[in-house]
Structure 1
Amino acid sequence: MNKSLLYLFLFLLAGCSESKKNSPNVFFGGEIVNPTSKHVVLYKGDVVIDSSALDANNRFSFKLDSIEDGLYHFKHAPELQYVYLDKGDSLMLRLNTVDFDESLVFSGTGEEINNFMLEIFLANEGEEYLIDQYYLLDAEDFSRKVDSLQQMKLDLLNDLNLEFPLTKKEMEIATADVVYNYAKFKERYPFKHKRLSKEKTVPKLTKEYYAYRKDLTYNNKDLTYLRPYYEFMVNHFGNLSYMSCTHGCDIKDNMAKNHLHFNKHKLKLIDSLVIEKELKDNLFRNVAVDYLLKVHDTEENINIFMEVFHALSGNNKHIAEIDDLYEGIKNIQPNKRIPEIKVTNFNGDKVSLPSISKDRKTVFYFWSAANKKHLNDISKRIRYLTQQEPSYTYVGINVETNLDEWKSLLPMEGLDAENQYRADNFEELTKALIVYPMNKCIIAENELIVDAFGDIYRSFK
């Protein structure tokens, strides 16, 4: 980030801010150029506060009574961004969805904190490549470089506060936005350094390196949905678990080979250190989803993990979602019958997945017209596999594409219509087959699952 440009931005903010009104009401509105949705939805955490339809001029507005001061976010599908709202604010925004974040500008009462956090967000995005280069440095030099970037942002925040005095909570959240962003990189450093430097072991870091940890908090509700804070916590508990897991994990080549032990350890650390319930719930969810979706452990180990998860987090707000994921994964273990999901063929007939795989070796793969690059790549891959691995039938299942577009894309992509189907209920399909990531494929033979967590690029060499 160019420091002088950001200084200029801060000091050219139009006019001096009005004093906060005594009214508890808040007005938040604006204009969206090239809208991609008909609505703007306002959230506090993961709870919908209100929704506003765009009018004929692509404008929206919220009039809110007696809100809680703090960080919110608004969504104009598929994009979302922060907004800080305080009692008495009358805040406007304007953006163009072609460059959503880059074009976004706030004006009115409350503009200063919001424009500052937006500029910090954009600057952080621009620094990712630079910090990737820093990971090759030794720990002392890396820490010095990162601290320098952090201090520059804090200086800018202090200058802003002198020019346009912020409330105590605004300063707290803006400071956390800066500090936890760089703390996140420090937590990642030992693992990134080992991988990039090709060293055999993770570097042993001093107490001085981790000195920033003494100021962190596990108990501030206002920070729970601040992106850098949450990302820091995810990296922090991964680091703590790795460094403290000296038995049972069988850590080799920077990977925990005993995934069950490692993830149980992580759950217990989160349970012992995190006080704020919503943060704890979200971190527990992160561990569970990461383990269940990415590890592909044995059914016995998955059952043990879920027992620990329920014991430590029985009233987790995400428990239903995790249980559904758990049940879905149990149902697609090897040698189990592929779920009785119905899809629609080119002629409009409903066909079940077991009937498609009956009496043959089948590879089910997934695609959507919304991701053209993925569609082009996977079409080439299927044509290649059809030649190289002809003993399999390659069956494409389309998700979230309208009927006419789906039919027109098949010949354009060289896909055989006889082996192409549409999912009528994307949610049902995703829940039953755990469609993640999009390169996933399911290998089945005669109605039975061989591998429900294959990869269309890696499972066939």
Structure 2
Amino acid sequence: MRKITFYLFAFILVGCQVDKKSAQSAFFSGEIVNPTNNYVVLYKDEVIIDSAKLDENNRFTLKLDSIQEGLYHFDHHPELQYVYLEKGDSLTIRLNTSDFDESLVFSGTGEGINNFLLEMFLTYEEEEPTINNFYELEPEAFSKKIDSLRKSKFQLLMELENDIPLSKKALEIARANIDYTYYAYYEKYPFKHRRKVGEKSIHELSSNFYGYRKNIDYNNTNLTYFRPYYNYMIYNIGNMSYMDCAEECTNGGGKIKSQLHYNLHKLKLIDSLVKENSLRDNLFRNVAMDYLLKVHDNKENNNSFIEDFHKRSGNNKHIKEIDGLYSGIQNIQPGNKIPDLELLNTAGEKVSLRELTNSKSVVLYFWTGTQKRQFENINKKIQELQAKNKDVRYIGINYKTEQPQWKGIIENYGLDENLQFRSDNFEQLTNALIIYPLNKCITMKDGAIVDAFDNLYSLK
């Protein structure tokens, strides 16, 4: 029903729209059913434009006296969604947080493009399982399937254009939404196909498989913060870097053995293709975070990577974050003592992490009270390990949980209070111990780090 009627209101509102050409302001308002906090915050890219507090009826109104035409996003923590705004718009939303995206409806001046973008977002989510099966197909069959889906979306856009005039920029956003979503599937295909069918090498592709690449704009300022465009850039850079590295770094052998070389190829490619500052900074950051957090390379390779990163992106707006992450990783290399953080025990007293871990065998693991299933799975694993390894101290470090709630969880699950501690400084904890991913643990022996990026579920 949504797919048939998502721009129906436009026919009713045509006669009462304001003269958008002469208007300078815009209105953005709505109702939040079952609100999760008291505010709606409007962003343009990374900048807060305005915010509004919900009234007693859970309604809000933002009057934007001067507005730049383009893509925004609104945040009702912890959820967010895109909204496209132009001068003269009077746009209203209604949503229920228990089903945020599926319940969201736009109405009023400007609803056409917004309901279209939302409908596409929901449709892409529905298509994911089907497209996942397409990766088993041979390249030509895969291309036909993806191209058919892409054309069907452009047919919907054509129908929308016939009924509701769209501005040049709104049309650009709508087209980019379709194009870059489906182009990304092509970029993922060779790797997904290899895994799906169990091939040892990348499948040979025809010369026109990536024919759409000749139309890619790597410096479109209107799309810098648009998720389909940004995601495509990540997949595209990753794909081309992999192919380059497989050819150049293996003497044509086709198998990449060095994650350092592969990620240096990514930095080099971004440096050569992307000139738009924000996109460039964000893509460089993505590579750095991916490499430093997931590869867990040795100290020398980490040094080589960060040197090249600084050479190519030394003025990156995320440089402080990246340097902090790099420094934190260097501090928890094997053989080092654990950073001497202050934690809290169940009595609210400060204790030294270094003193807690100054024993023969220790495993540090992390959990939060905000993710019940994650905590229960971790607790089950810890109980199994404790039963097998009586000489090992398994120390739990909690974060993002208030003291009373944390103590309640410890009591309800019968945890040993002498082995449970809490950090009230999440940023410090993250920077010092790099608590990523969720199943990470730190193994230690005789007060020194053995592996700061061990997997809790691989321990025996």
| TM-score, reference length from structure 2 | 0.96
CA shift digits 1:356-375 (9 cap, x unpaired): 01123111111111101001
- Aligned-partner Cα distance in 1 for 2:50–2:153: 33
- Aligned-partner Cα distance in 2 for 1:255–1:70: 43
Q: Check the 8 A contact 2:362/2:395 in 1, yes or no.
A: yes
Q: Per the alignment, do residues 54 and 11 of structure 1 end up closer, same or farther by CA in structure 2, a change over 3 Å counting?
A: closer
Whether 2:326 is the aligned partner of 1:326: answer yes
- The corresponding residue for 1:392 is 392
- Aligned-partner Cα distance in 2 for 1:96–1:255: 49
Q: Check the 8 A contact 2:362/2:443 in 1, yes or no.
A: yes
Q: Check the 8 A contact 2:10/2:164 in 1, yes or no.
A: no
Name the aligned partner's letter for residue 114 of structure 2.
Answer: N
SS at match of 1:222: coil
CA shift digits 1:227-264 (9 cap, x unpaired): 11111110001110111111326898x87321111111
- The corresponding residue for 1:378 is 378
- Aligned-partner Cα distance in 2 for 1:146–1:258: 32
- Aligned-partner Cα distance in 1 for 2:210–2:78: 37
- The corresponding residue for 1:55 is 55
Pairwise CA distance, 1:11: 4.3
- The corresponding residue for 1:247 is 248
Pairwise CA distance, 1:6: 1.6
Q: Check the 8 A contact 1:32/1:59 in 2, yes or no.
A: yes
Name the aligned partner's letter for residue 436 of structure 1.
Answer: Y
- Aligned-partner Cα distance in 2 for 1:256–1:393: 39
Whether 2:8 is the aligned partner of 1:7: answer no
RMSD between superposed Cα atoms in Å: 1.6
Q: Check the 8 A contact 2:183/2:212 in 1, yes or no.
A: yes
Name the aligned partner's letter for residue 62 of structure 1.
Answer: L
Name the aligned partner's letter for residue 123 of structure 2.
Answer: A
Q: Check the 8 A contact 1:24/1:88 in 2, yes or no.
A: yes
CA shift digits 1:189-209 (9 cap, x unpaired): 000000000112111211211
- Aligned-partner Cα distance in 2 for 1:199–1:300: 33
Q: Check the 8 A contact 1:249/1:262 in 2, yes or no.
A: no
Pairwise CA distance, 1:336: 1.0
Q: Check the 8 A contact 2:6/2:115 in 1, yes or no.
A: no
Question: Which aligned pairs between 1:75-90 and structure 2 lie closer than 5 A?
Answer: 75-90=75-90
The 10-residue stretch of structure 1 (412-421 or 195-204) with the greater mean CA deviation from structure 2: 412-421
CA shift digits 1:22-43 (9 cap, x unpaired): 1111111111111111211111
- The corresponding residue for 1:209 is 209
Name the aligned partner's letter for residue 35 of structure 2.
Answer: P
- Aligned-partner Cα distance in 1 for 2:375–2:416: 14
Q: Check the 8 A contact 2:187/2:236 in 1, yes or no.
A: yes
Aligned pair count reads 456
- The corresponding residue for 1:307 is 307
Q: Check the 8 A contact 2:363/2:394 in 1, yes or no.
A: yes
- The corresponding residue for 2:150 is 150
Name the aligned partner's letter for residue 453 of structure 1.
Answer: F
- Aligned-partner Cα distance in 1 for 2:252–2:31: 52
Question: Which aligned pairs between 1:271-420 and structure 2 lie closer than 5 A?
Answer: 271-420=271-420
The 10-residue stretch of structure 1 (423-432 or 18-27) with the greater mean CA deviation from structure 2: 18-27
- The corresponding residue for 2:448 is 448
- The corresponding residue for 1:114 is 114
Q: Check the 8 A contact 2:184/2:232 in 1, yes or no.
A: yes
Pairwise CA distance, 1:21: 4.9
- Aligned-partner Cα distance in 2 for 1:249–1:412: 55
- The corresponding residue for 2:100 is 100
- Aligned-partner Cα distance in 2 for 1:457–1:309: 33
- Aligned-partner Cα distance in 2 for 1:312–1:98: 44
Name the aligned partner's letter for residue 210 of structure 2.
Answer: Y
CA shift digits 1:397-453 (9 cap, x unpaired): 111112121111113223211100111111111111111111111112233211111
- Aligned-partner Cα distance in 1 for 2:366–2:64: 43
- The corresponding residue for 2:74 is 74
Q: Check the 8 A contact 2:106/2:115 in 1, yes or no.
A: yes
The 10-residue stretch of structure 1 (107-116 or 409-418) with the greater mean CA deviation from structure 2: 409-418
Q: Check the 8 A contact 2:7/2:111 in 1, yes or no.
A: no
Pairwise CA distance, 1:212: 1.0
CA shift digits 1:123-172 (9 cap, x unpaired): 00111111000000000111110111111111101110110010000000
Q: Check the 8 A contact 1:30/1:61 in 2, yes or no.
A: yes
The 10-residue stretch of structure 1 (436-445 or 95-104) with the greater mean CA deviation from structure 2: 436-445
4+ aligned runs moved over 3 Å, structure 1: 7-14, 249-252
Pairwise CA distance, 1:16: 4.0
SS at match of 2:297: coil
Pairwise CA distance, 1:54: 1.6
- Aligned-partner Cα distance in 1 for 2:5–2:62: 31
Q: Check the 8 A contact 1:250/1:256 in 2, yes or no.
A: no
The 10-residue stretch of structure 1 (145-154 or 6-15) with the greater mean CA deviation from structure 2: 6-15
Q: Check the 8 A contact 2:10/2:108 in 1, yes or no.
A: no
Q: Check the 8 A contact 1:376/1:413 in 2, yes or no.
A: no
- Aligned-partner Cα distance in 1 for 2:358–2:168: 66
The 10-residue stretch of structure 1 (80-89 or 46-55) with the greater mean CA deviation from structure 2: 46-55
- Aligned-partner Cα distance in 1 for 2:47–2:209: 38
Q: Per the alignment, do residues 457 and 250 of structure 1 end up closer, same or farther by CA in structure 2, a change over 3 Å counting?
A: farther
Pairwise CA distance, 1:215: 1.2
Q: Check the 8 A contact 1:7/1:156 in 2, yes or no.
A: no
Name the aligned partner's letter for residue 231 of structure 2.
Answer: E
- Unpaired runs of 5+ residues, structure 1, are none
- Aligned-partner Cα distance in 1 for 2:164–2:239: 38
SS at match of 2:210: helix
Q: Per the alignment, do residues 12 and 90 of structure 1 end up closer, same or farther by CA in structure 2, a change over 3 Å counting?
A: closer
Name the aligned partner's letter for residue 382 of structure 1.
Answer: I
